[in-house]
Amino acid sequence: MNAETLSSSAVVSNRPTVVALLSGGLDSTIVVRLMLDQGLGVLALNFVSPFCTCSPRKNGGCSLAASVAKSLDVDLRVMVKGMDYLRIVKRPRFGYGRGLNPCIDCRIYMLLQAAAVMRETGAVCVVTGEVLGQRPMSQHRRALDLIERESGLAGRLLRPLSAHLLPPTIPELEGVIPRDRMLDLSGRSRSPQLAIAKERGVEVFGCPSGGCLLTDPVISRRLKDVFDRCPDWDERDARLATLGRHFRLHPGLKVILGRDAGENARLEQMAGPLPVVSFVDKPGPTAVLRGSHAENDLLVVGRLLRCYSPKTTGESVAVRLRCNGRETLWTAHDSAREDEVASWAI
Ligand code: SF4
């Protein structure tokens, strides 16, 4: 876990401060607004991983959370979910949702970090945008209780949007946070939150239901392949799982192909020590190889590249592999067959 604080004024404020999980989505944004409206200081934490759909890359260079924090004038600490998180994704204690999303473990992971920040800064509690009954796996009552217990935040985890449906927290009992200003929302509808946003002048927030690629069946399948087939997997493999087209040619070799010029460039950047394959003097996809390859495998990779380069029909194409400053050249004479491609696709 790495953390970067974008500003520090609220941390040194004399007001009681809360630590808020801020994704930049509707719920967490209005919770921050609600806390500010009670005269509390807010230190926002934004957790990022390769699976966030609200990352700077997908939002014109600025994360949603950063935009929201700026619009609300609160400090933001960006928390990077690293290998410790990925190991949880591989083997969660409390299971998966509909994809490879380990929502209960994920919430506990984030709240454990938030609890540490709360203690470090002297904040009175951690607040989240969770709403009772909104998400089937992690926001029913038993899950909320389990998450609170496992994150070591008993009595110090406030869910302001559903506070009246849950036991009072310590700062509410002590009168530091006015319980009568908290809400009683439940269920999946976002209409009440949209009304609150309008009423409180909240204009900057992300998609109302947020986004996590771990719920995507395609990304989940690729990630499962990584966990099952790559004994030495690392963060690069997790990031690669979110990009391009993926093929497993045999148990020891995976090929990742860019779908456009942007993805080709990103694959080149992300490849590091992994072999990169492309045509020598023709446009076409860039491929990254993961695993071990023999000479025959390279012939297959060349044929696979040709399937996604319609302009190379009928001619022989020179192909090049680059790895650690060395090059290997060969010729792709034809394209892989449709049934072969289908059998390799992950
Ligand atoms: S949807 Fe993704 S980010 Fe959200 S709690 Fe589940 S695993 Fe974590």
**DSSP string covering 69-100, please?**
HHHHT-EEEEEE--HHHHHHHHS-SS---SSS
> What is the atom index within ligand 1 of the atom nearest the CA of 212?
2
102 CA → ligand 1 middle, Å: 7
User: Ligand 1: which residue has its CA nearest to atom 6?
Assistant: 103
Establish how many alpha carbons lie within 13 A of residue 23's alpha carbon, considering only the half-sphere containing its beta carbon.
21
Residue 17, number of CB atoms within 10 A of its CB: 22
- Residue-level pLDDT at 8: 40
What does the pLDDT read at residue 275?
98
Its sign, for the CA torsion 60, 64, 65, 71, is positive
Ligand 1 centroid–CA 82 distance in Å is 15
Distance 285 CA to ligand 1 centre (A): 32
Domains assigned to the chain:
2-213 (3.40.50.620), 243-344 (no CATH)
Atom of ligand 1 nearest to the CA of 102: 7
Ligand 1 centroid–CA 213 distance in Å is 9
Amino acid 208: pLDDT: 53
pLDDT at 12: 46
Element at 339 (helix H, strand E) = helix 338-344
Look at residue 153 in the predicted model and tell me its pLDDT: 98
Residues enclosing ligand 1, CB less than 6 A? 101-103, 106-107, 138, 212, 214-215
Give pLDDT tens digits along the chain (346 positions).
666 665 444 444 689 999 999 999 999 999 999 999 999 999 999 999 999 876 555 555 568 999 999 999 999 999 999 999 999 999 999 999 999 999 999 999 999 999 999 999 999 999 999 999 999 999 999 999 999 999 999 999 999 999 999 999 999 999 999 999 999 999 999 999 999 999 999 998 886 555 899 999 999 999 999 999 999 999 999 999 999 999 999 999 999 999 999 999 999 999 999 999 999 999 999 999 999 999 999 999 999 999 999 777 778 999 999 999 999 999 999 999 999 999 999 9
The identity of residue 10, as a single letter, is A
Residue 302 CA, ligand 1 centroid: distance in Å: 38
Closest residue by Cα to atom 2, ligand 1, is 212
Q: What is the residue type of 20?
A: A
Q: Ligand 1: which atom is nearest the Cα of residue 49?
A: 3
- Residue 315 has what pLDDT? 84
